[in-house]
């Protein structure tokens, strides 16, 4: 069965979004699996809670910041791709469904030719939103806003066919078009794959634009990639035009002015570029303030969103409190055991506020059959091939909806109250820190869970001066230098600040992810926790060890499946990438000399070659 994702963007548009979602009930599925995704661009009007209350089956993806039209929709596209969508309906939240066969007809148009990549329907002004106000009452709802179109390269802008005309069937045709409508367009998955960075392109919408001209840019790139754009006048919908920004607003002035220059200077001919330059000089002298600023920012190279034009909203809302990500590689039995421990009464797991995402990273010992009793309570994903530790967990992060993301290795077991304990601490930190629990062996004896970022000095101190914990992992409460790391916040129940924690149990708030980014995918496995903790330090994000949150850890269950020889090879490669060849060389010699002549004979560490 083909899958279609309906993706809409909300930014303080609660009423419009709810009305749009209500109109989706008119759609017929006709054998197509539909998933509705609302991307919230950090609204402060209570949108998330209101949408969740009225439409519990809708996936609400909180970006955590206003990423603009292009950035917000890209998050939705990314989420839908992981779900496995074949088609992506990008549609404004100020649209209303008119035809029950909208999806069916648009999909049918795309399937007529492998080279048809995008298709838009006919679009009417919603009643009361027409530009002109002299229409007969019976004509309202029949006034065309988009009936296909072309691009005016002389003036750098889209021209809509039929705009302001009353529909009498003159635009019912199905035909190739120069442009599509950004208000509603169905996109084939193949188009996004062709435009992906792996093929040297920009995936989805270009985020330089933030707002306006991202559709024109995509149209050019789609055609350059060999795909066709189509218009299908057999189906239609309504559009409450310019609800998001308003006609003639400073937002419109700024982005339309700046982005017209970005687009025209990239794709226009010399004559067009010269005309844009002359117009820019004129507007800079005589234009409105936002237009002048747009021109200045273009020449200063400022792209994306502008904070002064987008003041922060109210309180940020997430649809869920916690997302738990689990990646299984050849440990299906342990994955099931982990799920059993999460769903066991007393763990702190609450289905209404939390979600679990399980990814089978390759088809060696997949977990799907063994965890089927937990489906669909668990969001299940699968990769055909093992994509590595970081890439696997990043996929679960991108597919998560919670305010906090908890990374759990498949060889972990959750003990009573640990989830609620971590959430309590994270709430106390206001989502500004990264947390890890206390790892224990199955017999409940302690494991070393923390580390200092590896350095030559740390290796020398550990081996030659006998300072335990300077290079190898340690348990903070037992570490001689621990007194300098301990920060006993009473309201947090006692936590210990450290430089790094192993990622077997690792809680990252979305606020931190937006600031620091995802895991480094350049390494297949090993050093991902060290590299990420190093980045956290660079961004001044604190890392805390929470001894009250205990997790059983069947240490190394996944890596043992790789094999000793291959694991050592991967470890060496990751170490060289992290340290660099020169530093790695000196570090290796310090470790070798330390093992031979040092005061501490420590087993070979995970940071060695």
- Is 598 domain-assigned? no
426 pLDDT more than 90: yes
- How many Å apart are CA 447 and CA 437, to the nearest integer? 11
Average pLDDT score over residue span 221-243: 93
Task: Tell me: do 373 and 506 sit in the same domain.
Answer: yes
Longest pairwise C-alpha distance within the chain: 95
Band (223; pLDDT cuts 50, 70, 90): very high
Which of 50, 68, 58 lies closest to 6 in space, CA to CA?
58
pLDDT over 70 at 76, yes or no: yes
Are residues 449 and 324 both part of a single domain? yes
pLDDT at 480 > cutoff 50: no
Q: What is the pLDDT of residues 496-550, one digit of tens each?
A: 999 999 999 999 999 999 999 999 998 777 778 889 999 999 999 999 999 999 9
Same domain, 131 and 274: no
Residue 298 domain boundaries: 250-309
Same-domain check for residues 495 and 544: yes
φ, ψ of residue 306 to 5 degrees: the values are: -120, 120
pLDDT of 96-153, one tens digit each?
999 999 999 999 999 999 999 999 999 999 999 998 888 999 999 999 999 999 999 9
CA gyration radius, the chain: 27
The predicted-structure confidence for 9-66, as pLDDT tens digits, reads as follows 999 999 999 999 999 999 998 888 999 999 999 999 999 999 999 999 999 999 999 9
Whether residue 380 is found in the same domain as residue 457: yes
Q: Rounded to an integer, what distance in angstroms lies between the CA atom of residue 120 and that of residue 162?
A: 15
**Residue 582 lies inside a defined structural domain of this protein:** no
- My answer on whether 228 and 327 are in the same domain is no
Considering the domain architecture, whether residues 278 and 153 belong to the same structural domain is answered as no
Cis status, amide bond into 7, omega within 30 of 0 = no
Is 589 in a helix, a strand, or coil?
Answer: helix
Establish if 502 belongs to a structural domain: yes
Q: How many domains does the chain have?
A: 3
Inside any domain, residue 588? no
Task: Write down which residue in 209, 239, 269 finishes a domain.
Answer: 239
Do residue 303 and residue 325 come from a single domain?
no
List strand residue ranges (DSSP E) for 11-143, in order. 33-40, 59-62, 87-91, 95-97, 116-125
Q: What pTM did the predictor assign? A: 0.89
Q: What pLDDT shows up at residue 603? A: 46
Interaxial angle between packed helices 389-398 and 68-83, expressed in degrees from 0 to 180 and rounded to the nearest 10: 110
User: Is residue 594 a part of any domain in this protein?
Assistant: no
pLDDT at 287 over 50: yes
Please check whether residues 406 and 290 belong to one and the same domain.
Answer: no
| Residue 608 included in any domain | no
Q: What is the DSSP letter of 239?
A: E
pLDDT for 340 equals 97
Are residues 193 and 284 located together in one domain of the fold? no
List the CATH number of the domain containing 477: 3.90.550.10
Q: What percent of the chain has pLDDT over 90?
A: 71
Shared domain check, 305 and 209? no
- What percentage of the chain carries pLDDT values higher than 70? 84
- Are residues 19 and 152 both part of a single domain? yes
In the predicted structure, residue 70 carries a pLDDT above the cut 60 = yes
Q: How confident is the model at residue 246 (pLDDT cuts 50, 70, 90)?
A: low
Segments in 207-249 forming alpha helices (H): 214-224
Given a cut of 60, is residue 311 above it in pLDDT?
Answer: no
Domain membership of residue 601 (yes or no) is no
**Residue 605: what pLDDT?**
42
Whether 431 is covered by a domain: the verdict is: yes
The whole-chain average pLDDT of the chain stands at 88
């Amino acid at each position: 069965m083909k899958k279609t994702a309906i993706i809409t963007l909300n930014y303080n548009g609660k009423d419009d979004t709810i009305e749009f979602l209500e109109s989706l009930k008119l759609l017929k599925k006709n054998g197509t699996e539909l998933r509705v995704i609302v991307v919230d661009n950090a609204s402060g009007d209570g949108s998330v809670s209101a949408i969740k209350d009225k439409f519990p089956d809708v996936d609400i993806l909180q970006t955590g910041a206003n990423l603009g039209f292009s950035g917000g929709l890209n998050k939705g596209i990314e989420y839908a791709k992981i779900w496995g969508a074949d088609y992506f309906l990008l549609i404004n939240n100020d649209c209303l469904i008119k035809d029950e066969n909208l999806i069916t007809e648009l999909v049918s148009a795309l399937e007529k030719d492998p080279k048809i990549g995008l298709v838009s329907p006919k679009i009417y002004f919603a009643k009361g939103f027409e530009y002109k106000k002299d229409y007969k009452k019976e004509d309202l709802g029949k006034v065309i806003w988009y009936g296909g179109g072309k691009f005016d390269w002389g003036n750098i802008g889209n021209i809509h066919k039929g705009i302001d005309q009353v529909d009498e069937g003159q635009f019912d045709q199905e035909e190739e078009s120069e442009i599509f409508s950004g208000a509603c367009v169905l996109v084939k998955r193949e188009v996004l794959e062709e435009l992906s960075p792996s093929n040297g392109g920009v995936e989805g919408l270009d985020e330089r634009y933030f707002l306006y001209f991202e559709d024109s840019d995509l149209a050019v790139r789609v055609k350059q990639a060999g795909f066709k754009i189509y218009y299908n006048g057999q189906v239609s919908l309504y559009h409450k035009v310019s609800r998001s920004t308003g006609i003639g607003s400073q937002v419109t002035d700024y982005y339309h002015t700046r982005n017209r220059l970005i687009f025209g200077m990239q794709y226009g001919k010399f004559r067009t570029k010269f005309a844009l330059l002359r117009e820019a000089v004129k507007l800079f002298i005589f234009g409105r303030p936002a237009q002048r600023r747009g021109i200045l920012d273009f020449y200063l190279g400022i792209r994306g969103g502008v904070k002064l034009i987008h003041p922060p909203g109210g309180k940020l809302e997430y649809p869920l409190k916690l997302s738990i990500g689990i990646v299984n590689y050849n440990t299906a039995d342990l994955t099931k055991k982990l799920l059993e421990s999460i769903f066991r009464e007393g763990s702190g797991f609450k289905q209404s506020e939390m979600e679990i995402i399980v990814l089978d990273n390759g088809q060696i010992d997949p977990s799907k059959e063994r965890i089927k009793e937990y489906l669909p309570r668990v969001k299940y994903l699968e990769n055909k091939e093992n994509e590595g530790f970081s890439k696997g967990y990043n996929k679960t992060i991108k597919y998560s909806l919670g305010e906090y993301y908890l990374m759990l290795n498949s060889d972990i077991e959750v003990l009573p109250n640990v989830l609620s304990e971590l959430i309590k601490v994270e709430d106390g930190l206001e989502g500004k820190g990264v947390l890890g629990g206390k790892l224990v062996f199955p017999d409940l004896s302690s494991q070393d869970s923390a580390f200092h970022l590896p350095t030559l000095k740390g290796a020398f101190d550990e081996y030659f001066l006998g300072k335990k914990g300077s290079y190898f992992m340690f348990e903070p409460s037992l570490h001689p230098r621990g007194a300098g790391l301990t920060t006993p916040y009473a309201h947090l129940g006692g936590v210990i600040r450290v430089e790094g924690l192993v990622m077997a149990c690792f809680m990252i708030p979305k606020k931190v992810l937006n600031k620091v980014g995802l895991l480094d995918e350049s390494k297949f496995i090993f050093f991902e926790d060290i590299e990420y903790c190093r980045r956290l330090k660079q961004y001044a994000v604190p890392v805390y060890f929470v001894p009250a949150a205990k997790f059983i850890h069947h240490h190394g269950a996944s890596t043992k499946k790789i094999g000793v020889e291959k694991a050592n090879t991967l470890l060496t490669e990751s170490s060289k990438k992290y340290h660099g060849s020169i530093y790695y060389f000196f570090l290796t010699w310090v470790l070798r000399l330390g093992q031979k002549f040092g005061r501490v004979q420590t087993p070979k560490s995970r940071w060695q070659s």
